[in-house]
Structure 1
Amino acid sequence: MYRLLIVDDMPIVADGLEGLLQEAAHLNVKLYKAYSGSKALDVLRSERIDIVLCDIKMPGMEGIDLLKEIRHRWPHCKVIFLTAYDDFEYVRSAMSLGGFEYILKVEDDRKIIRTIEKAIDAICEEDAARSLVQQAYRELLDADGGVAMSDVPFGSEAVRGTLRELRIAIGRKQAEAAQPEAEETAVQAGTAYFQLHKVRLLGEYLESGREAEFDKLFGELNAFLLGNATGHMHKLECLHALNAVYIPNLAACGLQDELDVLRTLYKRIQSGEEGSWETIGGCFRIFAATIFKCKRSAANVNANDVIDKIHAYIEAQIADDLTLATLAGHVNFNPSYFSRFYKQTTGNGLSDYIADIRNAKAKELLQRPAMKIQDIAEKTGYHSSMAFIRFFKKQNGITPEEYRRRNLHGSRT
């Protein structure tokens, strides 16, 4: 079971996320909550936390400050940020400090679940990698070889250093057993494994918009793919992994032509056209730039467009039961954050806006003398005339009938 800490300064949001994750039983997570960054640190000091789901902007200790503490003291912990539209540039800097992923608050519950699944997968991969390295040590080193490793830290530098030590150990075995071909195969396998780890990092950089880091790491991987010493099967393994990263991103951006090109080049390489490696490497680089551009465009959606869309929906459906879940679903928002997003963008509460529209509609319909109060109630979203009368009097200080008499009398005079 994995341990997940929810951090948000708004209890209603933290509680909503807790309820969502409790329903996702397949995640198999034990949940903790904190309503501030400092309280989150208290939990982290007392419990081994695997994943932190954290609002990036909070009073006191902000999410980015909490991340710095976590990276320093609990480097294996995965930190997922929740961010609004106007936090986007801020979250970029947070991701560069080691954040695992971010989720826009306009995204739905499924995105939250998928991101947590992704974090769990990453933890599993890292655990498996540590086990693999430990097993390699046990197999390659004699009992008195002098190298003991109870816990291998996982990360690009740590893995690189570990592989260097493995190569030394392999070299020792070469001298002892005089089996150079077998040992060379082992070195290549270790190098290929490290390249697959790079591909996973490329996927993370692509998802989180870390373009500069992506370009640098891709250059290293491309050199491996073009290297004469790299075996064809190891190249194909990396190509399979790269396709798994690129294809869903290209599809999500609607880049069908690029997908077709990728499939064509892949078939050529499978058929043994070695010259296609240079071509596909160039395509991967160009496609990545296109994906990054697509993601930037999606992140720069104008919040006012979302508000205009929801206002139009409310006005058109004012006779319906306008629940928070219904409204959030109309604009593909997470219901847990929709009310907060609306208040931050407009400065007003969503329920206040709905009440104003219902009140204006009621006044308009009360100008029609033949229209019954019950009918007006239904046209403004109330199934009970008494509930409508209470609402109208609260808004205007007089009953609907009094309002009608005054206005009809005024129009005659």
Structure 2
Amino acid sequence: MFRLLVVDDETIIADGLSEILQNTAALELDVYKAYSGLEAVKLFDRTRFDIVLTDIRMPEMDGLQLLEQIRKRWPECKVIFLTGFNEFSYVYSAIQYEGVSYLLKTEGYDKIISKVEAAVAEIETGLKAESLLQKAQEQLAAMQGLLQNDYVLRVLKEQLDREEINQAQLNELSIPLRADKPVLIMLGRTAASSKPYSEKSKQLYTIRLIAEQYLASHVSMTAAVNENRDIVWLIQPRAEEEAESFERALTFVKGSVELVQAACRESAGETVSFVLDDSPAAWPHIAERFATLNMLMNYRIGHGCGMLLLDKQLMDSGLQPSGTAKEQPPHMLRQSRLAMLADQLEHGQREAFYRNLHESAQSLQRITGMHDMQAQQFYYSVGLIYFSYMNRWQLVEPLAAQISMHKLMQPGEHGSWNSAFEYLEHVGEVLFNMQNQEEERRANAVITIIQKHIQDHLHNPDELSLVRLAELVYFNPSYLSRLFKQMTGVNLSEYITSCRMQKAKRLLEQPDIKIQDVAERVGYGTATNFTRSFRKLLHMTPQEYRTSALNK
């Protein structure tokens, strides 16, 4: 919905034009009116206008002076001047500007509506303009590196649905990998230093270029820098060498990474430690494998010499205490998963939350003892997410009895981990249901405020503008318009008109109230405008309605 402002110092003209344009359903305009250029400027300072239909000759501030103010505030606004025959030379210089046109006052409402329709079409075309798309594409190309980095990090943190990891997405981001093939993962970390951010960033970029120089001839790869300033590479054999398998690619990377390390030391003056996974990982398991690599990197074997760990399995088993079995970090306990659960609960993403919860808790199905430490850690972690959410939104008291609150941090209250998991599901369901109820309650409260204000101010059109109504509830005007339609099923303008007509009919049934007074009490400036709108909606004049009502 676009906003149009009618500006004319003659009240009857401003009222008539705004009434006609507001009731032209095909245009779907949010129409305002001002009786002077100064009044129009005040409106420009409150909200954006898309089209201004203004008289050229007005006291205090004429149309050309108003145009200057429009261009300062809303340069994309279309301006249509209403002129007389003897005023064309006056407006000629103004219509040289883009987005400015004129109409003769004698051309009638149909011509004005046609001109406004043309302005609306021009705005809609501009929103789809090739120049805008081209500019967006250029900016997208400039951001490609940032988007690639963000995408890879989200894969590593399991912040993407599996459906989002596909070839189309990789191609769009110019990531030279295949979504249907596994990847090798390599992690690089520089020695801690007190260098400033800009210098550290340049060195990380240099390290990435060096690695690409030594590796890109035989493998496809992409890299990302995480929040710890580590570099992570995802690597695959080149498509034309796929028949040679991952073994050759792994051998090549192992043989080359030592050269990369030496080159970083010589060229960038930076000591870099590397950990390379010893087998390819399928895309859904990348986050789990990366968590293991990150843990191995944190062992920090040696000091400042640049660790080079090329056989994860040997090293992993060698670092285990004597007599202990090697055990991977459980899928359910990764911090990225827990952080995602908290985020999905906060943002009301019910389906994604339950999918994540089920995948994270799969290990519970196989555990029998209620004293298992890993299962308890998972249970407490999810319980803490729930507690944190309920505290923020002050839901502890309303929910205490409904969810048996004492069980939330006491897994021993359940007979098995299966029943414990079902309880966690139940608490989540209660919280999501309460979210929906609260969201609807807040929306209904807003609609009630708006409807009451409209009922109380039908006599004052200024209080019924979309901008004014949006200010009452601190919303954006366009959002309020969409919300009102969503909650009530009718447009805001239709509701206002309906309220006016209902009140008008009640007043017309009282024979001692003049029709002019009825028009003023329901917000129409003149009896003429009131009669025009009344007849259009009820197919009879106000006087005909009064006669019919009194006869009954």
How high is the TM-score relative to the length of structure 2?
0.37
Higher percent of residues as helix: 1
How high is the TM-score relative to the length of structure 1?
0.46
Which has the larger Rg? 2
